[in-house]
Amino acid sequence: MAAAILLSTGLDQAMGQDMEPRAYSASPIDLNFLIASYLRTTGSVSLDPSLPITGVKASINTFSLGYERTFDLFGRTASAAIVLPYFQAGLSGQVFGTGTQISRMGLGDLRLRLAANLLGNPALSPQQFATRQPQTTLGASLSVIAPSGDYDAAHLANIGSNRWAIKPEVGLSQPMGDWFADAAAGIWLFTANDNFLNGHSRTQNPLPVLQGHLGYNFRRGLWLAADATYLSGGETSIDGLPKHDAETASRFGLTLSLPISDGISAKLSWASWLTARNGGNYDTIGLTLQYRWFDP
């Protein structure tokens, strides 16, 4: 059970602390993105102090492949994305004073996202978009994590979560000359894992998430953003018994976008923690390569 707590806590907390600037910025339709990314997450995991587990350290490598496309949805710009992650994860800690180490690797749960602009970004062709005047955009999205990852109920620790996770979110993007500001508010909702450790039921309360970004455009494709996020909630229960492990965490970071050649760009990201209660004191570094093209 201690091993299950170590690994499931590390992966769940890393998932809940994503930061993505410009997620609701304006874009033309018929645009395709092919994305490959690597994220390394390291640090300590904060657990319920009543548990006999101390000194928990996590190291999680995430490799992801994704595809995204923008399209016309009732006259507004919309996008659909799919991402498949692969995890290499290891955690260590002291359980009843004895050192414990566990590791897992395998395919993670499939991630899907559908987003649509509600204000300020009508569906425009690339030619029309090139002559538009930047303006405030308001959007909404629905992210879904499907229970498709590696999971075995006989194992104490798994890569997959064996449950659905859904996050409705609204976001705002405001251009200000060479500057831009983004803000988003969402909430993760979870179904039950009814086959946790051979038939037990694990549930989790909703987890609200806020994030904000402030950035500067040096030139087309070259920008830097300061990122921040805050989350609070998500208490879990086993067979209806609460674990009193509601999480509160705040994080900050930087994201740098670099153009490489026509249609190819890279993003470098770094993030660390400000405060964490029953959450992970994580540092993350990431690299994303992106290839984009328009429909012929």
Distance CA 95, CA 101 (A): 10
pLDDT of 289: 97
Q: What is the residue range of 98's domain?
A: 2-294
262: its two tokens = 């026509």
pLDDT of 95: 66
- For residue 49, is pLDDT > 60? no
CATH number, domain with residue 132: 2.40.128.130
Distance CA 160, CA 13 (A): 14
Asked if 159 and 4 count as a contact pair (C-beta separation under 8 A), the reply is no
- For the four alpha carbons of 143, 148, 153 and 156, in that order, the dihedral sign comes to negative
Asked if 181 and 198 count as a contact pair (C-beta separation under 8 A), the reply is no
Read off the pLDDT band of 143 (50, 70, 90).
Answer: very high
Asked if 164 and 143 count as a contact pair (C-beta separation under 8 A), the reply is no
pLDDT digits (tens, 9 = 90+) for 218-267: 999 999 999 999 999 989 899 999 988 888 889 999 999 999 999 999 99
- Percentage of the chain lying above the pLDDT 70 cut: 88
Residue 126, SS3 per DSSP = helix
pLDDT digits (tens, 9 = 90+) for 1-39: 444 444 454 455 455 557 899 999 999 999 999 999 999
Asked if 199 and 153 count as a contact pair (C-beta separation under 8 A), the reply is yes
Mean pLDDT of 124-144: 94
Distance CA 3, CA 67 (A): 34
pLDDT of 101: 79
- Percentage of the chain lying above the pLDDT 90 cut: 63
Read off the pLDDT band of 198 (50, 70, 90).
Answer: confident
Domain count, the chain: 1
